[in-house]
Structure 1
Amino acid sequence: MIVTLTMNPALDITTEIGTVQPTHKMRCGTPQYDPGGGGINVARVARVLGAPVSAIFPAGGVTGEALSRLLGMAGIPADRIPIAEPTRESFTVNELSTGKQFRFILPGPVLTDAEQIECLDRLRHTVGVADYVVASGSLPPGVPADFYQRVADICAEFGTPLILDSSGDCLKYLDTAVLLLKPSLRELNEHCGRSLTTEADQIAAARSVIDAGHADNVVVSLGGRGALLVSAAEAVRFGVIPVQSRSGVGAGDAMVAGITVGLLRGWPLQKAVLLGTATGAATLLTPGTEVCDRDDVERLFGEAPEPVPVG
C-alpha cells in the first residue's frame, strides 16, 4: 500500500472565462471542484493506476468537509485529522481567449502544535503497513521547516521508504536520507541559490543534495525538457513525451504517483521514473485539476523515449 501525507490540502476550484481583466466583474463558467494538495493528488493518481492507497491529511471547516466528501466519492480511504481552522482553497482560471492559465494559491490554515502531533501520530499508526510513504506538498503556516525530518524519522523507525516532494526550506533541516526526493528545477534553483542553466549544473546540484545525506536518489522535473534521475553512481535523462497540453496542474504530483506505483510493482527505479514521466504527460491532457486516464498513461508509457545516461 502507498500511504500519502498532505499537510496543506486544498479544495481545488477550476473555472474558465473569455478574458481576464482588472477591476471588472468577471463572470466565470461552471466551476469544477476536486480534492487537492500534493499527497492527495498522488493518492488520486495512484488509485487510477490500480495501487492501494491511504491518504492522511488535516482538514477543517466547510472546505475540509467538502474535500473529505470528494475523496470519499473517489473511493480513496481517508484518514482525516480534524483541525480548528478551515482548509484552504486553490483557484485556477483558464482564459479562453489566450489559452493562458492563472493559478491562485492560498497559504492555508495555521495548525496548532497538538494538531501537528496528531498528524505524526496517525502516520506512526499507519506506516507499519505501508510499502511506501509519500509526503508531498507545502507546509501550512505554523508548521516548522523541520517537520519532514520528523516524518523521515518515523519512516526510518519502521524501515518504510519515504518519497518526498516539497518546496521551501525543508531540505536544510533534513538529516535522514529519504529514498527519493523530487524537486522541480525551480525548487532546486531556490535551494542552491542560483540558476542552474546547464545539465551539468543540474546534475552537480542534485549530487550535492545526495552527498549532504538528504536523499539516496533525486528526480528533477524539468517541465518541457523532461526529467533527470540522479544517484551517487549515475545520472539519466528522460526525454519529453509530446502531448497537447490542456492544463499543467498536478503534473508533478502525477509524476510522483507514477514513480511510486512503479516501485510498488517491483520495477527498477529507471523504469518507475519512465512510468512517472508518462503519468505526468497524461495529466497534461486533462482539464483543470481532473485526474489522468489510465489508458492514456499506458499509451504514453509505450511511446516514451528510452532514458539516456548522461553522467
Structure 2
Amino acid sequence: MNSIDTLTVNPTIDIAYEVERLEPVRKLRAAGERHDPGGGGINVARVFVRMGGNARCHYMAGGPTGVALDALLDQHQLVKACTPIAGSTRISTTVFERVSGREYRVVAQGPEIEPGEWGACLDRLGRARADYIVASGSLARGLPDDFYARAARAARDAGARFVLDSSGVGLAGALAAGGVYLVKPSLDELSGLVGEELREDAVIAEAAQGIVRRGGAEHVVVTMADRGAMLATADGVVRLPALPVTPASTVGAGDSFLAAMVHALAGGRGMTKALRFGIAAGAAAVATPGTDLARAEDIRRLVAEVSAPA
C-alpha cells in the first residue's frame, strides 16, 4: 500500500457555512456547517488516504484548538506526528453566499513558532520512513526563510523524496538550496518567485524549466486554474488542459491535485500519468462544496476525461 509523510507547519481547523445572503449587523442563520482538519499537508494526507494510501501527518499544534485539531484528525483516520507548541492553532472560515454563488474565505494568521518547537518538528521529520515527504502550505510566523530547505535536507537524510507546495520566501528558500524532487507552484506563486507576471505559455515554460536547470527541483508542475497545468523536467515540457466543471469551492484544490499526483507516483506511475491524476483531482475538488476535498471516486472517474499530452 502507498505510504507518505506530510508536513504542515501552520495547520488550521477549517469551518464552512452556507448563508442565503451576507448582510452587515444582522444575525445570519447558517446551514451546511462543516468542521475539518486543514492546512496544506493535512489536506494532502486526507485525499491520499481517500485514494487508498497511508499518510502520517507531521504538524505543530497547541492550545484548546490544537486539541480539537487532534480529534478531527482522528475522525479522518490519519496518523498523527504532532509537535506541541505554546501558541494556539488557528481557525479559518469559509462562507458560501447562495444568492450570489460567491465564496468568502477568512484565513487566520496563526501562532508564532519558537525555535525549539520548529527544531523538534524537523528532528521528527528526519526520522520519517517514507518514500515521499510532502510539505504544503506557507511558512508560519517565527520560522526561518530557509525552513523548507532544512526540511528537504531532513527528507533526504531519511531517504525520502521531498515534494513542496508553498509560496513566497518559503518557496524561494527551498529552491535556492536545491534538492527538491517535485515542486508545485500555482501560476501566481511562480510569477511571485520570478518577480513578473507570467501569461504566455512559452514564458511560463521557460520560468519552470529555469528552476530545473538551476537544480532547484527535478520536476516543476505549474497549476494554472482553468488553463490546466504544465510539467517541466530536464526532458522538456508537457501541458495539459483543465477539465470543465461547475465550480462549488476552491478550498483544497491545489492540495487535492498534489495528493493525487503523489499517490500515482508512489504507485509506480510515470510523471505524465501522475499529472493527469492531478488534473482530475483538482477538478474534483473545485466541484466539491465547502471545505471538503476531492473524493476518490470522482478522481478515478474524471481521470479518463483528461486529454493525453500531444
TM-score range, shorter chain: over 0.9
Q: TM-score, normalised by structure 2?
A: 0.95
Give the superposed CA RMSD. Answer: 1.3
> Gaps spanning 5+ residues in structure 2: where?
none
- Return the alpha-carbon distance in structure 2 between the equivalents of residues 222 and 176 of structure 1: 24
Between the aligned partners of 2:32 and 2:280, the Cα distance in structure 1 is 30
| Structure-1 separation of matches of 2:262 and 2:24 | 42
Instruction: Choose the corresponding residue for 1:80, options 79, 82, 92.
Output: 82
CA positional deviation for 1:232: 2.3
- Structure 1 residues without counterparts, runs of 5 or longer: none
Deviations 1:159-186 (A, max 9, x none): 3111100011123322122111000001
Q: Secondary structure at the match of 1:130?
A: coil
* Percent identity between the two aligned chains: 42
Partner of 2:173: 173
Q: Which string of whole-angstrom CA distances, capped at 9 and with x for unpartnered residues, describes residues 232-272 of structure 1? A: 22101111112222111001000000110001100100001
Partner of 1:191: 193
1:247 maps to: 249
Q: CA deviation at 1:25?
A: 4.2
The residue number in structure 1 matching 2:284 is 282
Aligned to 1:146: 146
Aligned match of 2:134: 134
Give the superposition deviation at 1:143.
0.6
Aligned to 1:256: 258
Q: Hey, what does 2:158 align to over in structure 1?
A: 158
Q: How far apart in 2 are the matches of 1:143 and 1:54?
A: 22
Query: How do residues 226-237 of structure 1 correspond to structure 2 at under 5 angstroms?
Result: 226-237=228-239
Offset from partner CA, 1:93-151 (integer Å, 9 cap, x none): 1011110111111111101111001110110122xx20100011011111111000101
Contact 1:239–1:307 (CA under 8 A) maintained in structure 2: no
- Of 169-178 and 244-253, the range deviating more from structure 2: 169-178
Indicate which of 192, 203, 206 corresponds to 1:204: 206
Are the equivalent residues in 2 in contact too, given 1:247–1:287 (CA < 8 A)?
A: yes
Cα deviations across residues 62-103 of structure 1 (Å, max 9, x unaligned)? 211111111101111111111111101111010111101111
Rounded Cα–Cα distance in structure 1 between residues aligned with 2:97 and 2:91: 19
What does 1:102-113 align with in structure 2 at a 5 Å threshold? 102-113=104-115
Q: SS at 1:125's partner residue? A: coil
Give the equivalent residue in structure 1 for 2:44: 42
1:275-311 CA-to-partner distances (Å, cap 9, x unmatched) read 1111111112211111322111111011111123xxx
Residue equivalent to 1:14: 16
TM-fit CA distance, 1:18: 1.7
Q: Is the 8 A contact 2:250 2:286 kept in 1?
A: yes
Q: Does the Cα contact within 8 Å between 1:171 and 1:214 map onto a contact in 2?
A: no
**What displacement does 1:22 show?**
4.0
Q: Match for 1:234: what amino acid? A: G
2-side partners of 1:286 and 1:196: how far apart? Answer: 29
